[in-house]
Structure 1
Amino acid sequence: MISLRPLAAFMLSFACLASSSGASRAEEEAGHLVICGGGGLPDSVRDRFVELAGGAKARIVVVPTASESADGPPRELDEFLEPWRKRGVASAKLLHTRSRAKADDPAFAAQLDDTDGVWFSGGDQSRVTEAYLGTATDAAFRRVLARGGVLGGTSAGAALMTRVMITGGTEKASVGEGFGFLPDVVVDQHALRRSRLNRLMGVVGERPALKAGVAIDEATALIVDLKAGRWQVGGASYVVVLRPARDGKPARIDVFHEGERGELGTWAIADRAIEEDR
């Protein structure tokens, strides 16, 4: 069960934060993100990822680097690809290394040149950033987005989506540097199952530049349209958004369920945004 005891302190800690300015990177991108909270993913979430990648024409690359199994025998590696192959995509292949030198090799990164969708597996998110962050492969991930493709991931593959990346901890999180595909926020996953709302509050409270903290429960996804600057919740559970006080508005905690949509700028669904402006 998620404890809300720190809620009052969270609200107070943001009472005097100033708003940030400047164009969001989301306005500069053309693709989508499918950010999943871990656990068993509903078919609807995987189907949506494939749809965004082009359906039957989709060329999918799976990055299993977060998992120890990525270094395992071929049978184990096939398990990363099977959920995508059975959906009838044009191709599904693996991209994996633990060598930064190899990840920075343009020939290795070129495997992503014709890719429509990249999926990051669960495991340890730090393994992924240690291998790829700041390399030629990192740049290739970003080109997938820039040409209208989709990046997705679950559990560790969700945590790495933001620049402030939660790497561990229970009540107090440890953090590192993630990819920053989704700007200006921090994401946490397994929100209900592992009672992680408290640690997310702490991360947001210590970083005034963040617009929000986003907690995604298991079997649930936050689907982001970066070009339109909009998001939608899909799956079986919920997404919790923690927003600090900004522009004279108080701090808020909101819960969103499947089908609810909103704006990246406000992190509120349309009817709630109208109520807040009154």
Structure 2
Amino acid sequence: MESNSKQLIIIGGAEDKKEDCEILREFVRRAGGTKARIIIMTAATELPREVGENYIRVFERLGAEDARIVDTETRDDASSSSALEAVSKATGIFFTGGDQARITSVIKDTELDRAIHKRFAEGAVIAGTSAGAAMMPDKMIVEGDSQTNPRIEIIEMGPGLGFLPGVVIDQHFLQRGRLGRLISALIQEPADLGFGIDENTAMVVTDRQVEIIGEGSVTIVDVEDTYDNMGEILKDEALAICGAKLHILPRGYKFNLETRQPILNNGSIADVSVLAGSANT
């Protein structure tokens, strides 16, 4: 049964597909369990049949009623009657990894884009891994250098599909050392919350609350009410940022997008001043 809430499962890439499949299992469960009708959006990958069939095998093994590929190689494909009909019946829509620029160049502002957003509003679960995670905000990281200090020129930004507007998302986060590029993106864009998702880890977004699942962590950077030197430097000079908040949340922790507060795995709000004081007594 579909939920009235908007639900997103945003995966940092390299999720388990062979063993317990915790993250993909959660997607199938939220999409209707054994009654789930899942479509696999392969726009990001250059191997749509191979990648799509791999996910079909996983979703069928987990018990989904139906799983099928919707491949869009061109923008014309994004107005095909078969693709639009598949979306209209889907309870779960899954975007594969690959190149996030391919997703937006083919799908954004098409009939298919509007149909997916309509199903999302009606309760279908949207999930995406790697490139499929990067495109979730309204502004996404198209590409950028990893393992470097924050600078203006290390990233290229572009429009995303806007399922979770007002934030920036990066994937393969710990594994590729992407803190510098996430901060660079935040300083340049009109967004002040950044989420860096480790591999085989996901943030499940429901009713403006994020829950962490999987084996790694989600790093949250909050740059609201901070100082930066963006207006004082040249393109190849280092960014400075002062007063940013950093949260690193593993499985079971949550984050409230409205209050910007972490929620501990026991369900209590993380009041940092109180917690720090109790830890030092």
Question: TM over 0.5: same fold?
Answer: yes
* Mapped contact 2:96–2:129 kept (Cα < 8 A): yes
Are 1:210 and 2:210 an aligned pair? Answer: no
The 2-side partners of 1:129 and 1:223 are apart by: 22
Alignment of 1:31-180 (within 5 A): 31-41=6-16, 43-70=21-48, 72=49, 77-105=52-80, 108-170=83-145, 171=148, 172-180=154-162
Deviation at residue 223 of structure 1 after TM alignment:
0.4
* Mapped contact 2:140–2:158 kept (Cα < 8 A): yes
Gaps of 5+ in 2: 149-153, 228-241, 276-281
RMSD: 2.3
* Mapped contact 2:192–2:224 kept (Cα < 8 A): no
Gaps of 5+ in 1: 1-28
Query: Aligned residues: percent identity?
Result: 31
Are 1:192 and 2:177 an aligned pair? Answer: no
Deviation at residue 205 of structure 1 after TM alignment:
1.2
Task: Tell me how many residue pairs correspond in the alignment.
Answer: 244
Deviation at residue 56 of structure 1 after TM alignment:
0.4
* Mapped contact 1:106–1:136 kept (Cα < 8 A): no
What whole-Å deviation, never above 9, does each CA across 1:66-120 have from its counterpart, x for those lacking one? 11111x5xx6642231111111111000001122123134553222111000000
- The residue matched to 1:246 in structure 2 has which SS? coil
> Which ranges of 4 or more aligned residues in structure 1 deviate by more than 6 Å?
none
With normalisation by structure 1, the TM-score equals 0.81
* Mapped contact 1:266–1:273 kept (Cα < 8 A): no
Amino acid at match of 2:199: E
With normalisation by structure 2, the TM-score equals 0.81
The 2-side partners of 1:34 and 1:252 are apart by: 24
The 2-side partners of 1:136 and 1:188 are apart by: 27
